[in-house]
Chain A
Amino acid sequence: MKYIFIAGAPGSKWSSVVKNIYYSPSIDRSDYSDSRTYYHDASGSRQLMHLGVYFDPGMEFGNKLQLMEYMSKEELEAEFDRPFSGEGVRIIKSHVFCHHLDFIRKTWTDCPIVCVERANDACLGWWVRCGHFGITYPSYSGYYKNLREMSFHIDKQNADLRKFVKDNPSAMMSDNIELCEKLGIDLPVELDIQNYNLNNINVYLNQNAS
């Protein structure tokens, strides 16, 4: 597999799900740079909240991803690969993937999709706690514009993500160890176990049996 696709609405805590598999030796971390990080104390202590590259309209990469179904597989892969230069599986994360999960499933049949879900209000509450439009990385100002728009997008993204999870057999993951095992990647070095239930997140893995 070339990619692991990660989808979830803003405030779904998907970045924490990524963070807790990112340091697997199987992952290509060449997208990492200090400028692509964001720290905040929403959880009670200052923590790394965002890391690596994000693909979304208005962000550094994936500016046209709301129209991804009009793009060829080659064009999309060229965009996905732009921030990477290393070896290993590439984590491709985007909020707007929530609207294109069937397309991703059909186009990259051998690549797993990780769906991160929380209640709509919890997503909005957590996203605002994490800094809302003051989040310095990635930028939310271009596409999400204001709080009303953000609420609207969270509801729509969650609705489409839930529909995909319901319509396509997806396994619920209990923690990052299980996720790594099911993805077939090595466990992260200096492993912190992230129990998704304790973190008030639902994490689903969709992948083809073959």
Chain B
Amino acid sequence: MKYIFITGAPGCKSSSVARNIYFSNSINRSDFKREYDYYKTIRGKTQLAHFGAYFDPTLEYGKNFDKFETFSKEDLEEEFDKPFTGNGIKIIKGHNFCHHLDFIKENWPDCPIVMCDRSDDSCFGWWLRCGGLNIAYPSFDRFPTQDDVVKAIDEQNADMRKFIKSSGALRVNDNMDLCEKIGIARPPMTPHNSTLLQNYSANDVEVYVSL
């Protein structure tokens, strides 16, 4: 497999799900740059909230992904590969993928899709706590107002849940279980690289994988 796709609406905690498998030796981490880091103090704890490349309409990568299904597989792979230089499996994360999950499954049948589901209100609440429209990276400039984010969360969650149901995606318990299911090495658990045993239920997030 070349890619692991990770998706979910803003505030679904998909970035923490990605972070807790990112330091696996199987993963290509060449998209990691300090200018992509976004730290936020939430509930008194400063956390690396966002890191690495994100692919979504108007962002540096995936700029035109509002027309995702009009591109060829080759064009899309070229875009996915842009921020990477090294070896290993590339994590491709974007919110808008929620609307294109059947297309992704059809075009990359050997690549797992990881989906992060939280209630619409929880997504919005967490996104606000993380900084809302002031989040420095990735930019949410494509949403003129908070109401537009609310609408996007509801629509993305609805489409993702539909796919979870129709594809028979598997529910995953924690990041170690996720590594096992998608067949990558477990990340070393050290505070240095911010990897922890992440129990998804305890984190109030449901994680599903379509294999």
Contacts and interface: CB of A to CB of B under 8 A. Distances in A.
A119 B201 CA distance: 12
B193 interface: no
B119 A119 contact: yes
A138 interface: no
A121 B43 CA distance: 12
Interface in B117-139: 118-126, 128-129
Interface stretch (A31-39, A71-79, A106-114, A125-133): A125-133
Contacts of A123: 121, 125
B146 A121 contact: no
A46 B168 CA distance: 36
Interface in A78-126: 118-126
B119 A128 contact: no
B54 to A, nearest CB: 21
Contacts of A121: 11, 118, 121-126, 129, 204
B124 A129 contact: yes
A11 B43 contact: no
Interface secondary structure of A, over-half rule: helix
A129 B121 contact: yes
Most buried by B among A118, A121, A124, A128: A121
Interface in A114-171: 118-126, 128-129, 147, 151, 155
B150 interface: yes
Nearest to A44: B154
A131 B119 CA distance: 19
Most buried by A among B118, B125, B128: B125
A200 interface: yes
B43 A122 contact: no
Contacts of A129: 121, 124, 150
A38 B122 CA distance: 23
Nearest to A120: B125
Contacts of A118: 121
A118 B129 CA distance: 16
Most buried by B among A123, A124, A151: A124
Contact of A124 (B128, B146, B204): B128
Nearest to A121: B125
Contacts of B129: 121, 124, 151
A200 B125 contact: no
A185 B13 CA distance: 42
Contacts of B125: 11, 119-126, 128
B119 A122 contact: yes
A125 B129 CA distance: 9
Given A119-B119, A119-B122, A200-B121, A125 B43 contact: no
Contacts of A124: 124-125, 128-129
Nearest to A147: B128
Contacts of A119: 119, 122, 125, 204
Interface in A1-34: 11
Given A124-B124, A147-B128, 13 more contacts: A119-B119, A120-B125, A121-B11, A121-B122, A121-B124, A121-B125, A123-B125, A124-B128, A125-B120, A125-B124, A125-B125, A155-B43, A200-B119
Q: Which 8 residue pairs spanning A and B have beta carbons closest together?
A: A125-B125, A121-B125, A125-B124, A124-B125, A125-B121, A122-B121, A121-B122, A122-B122
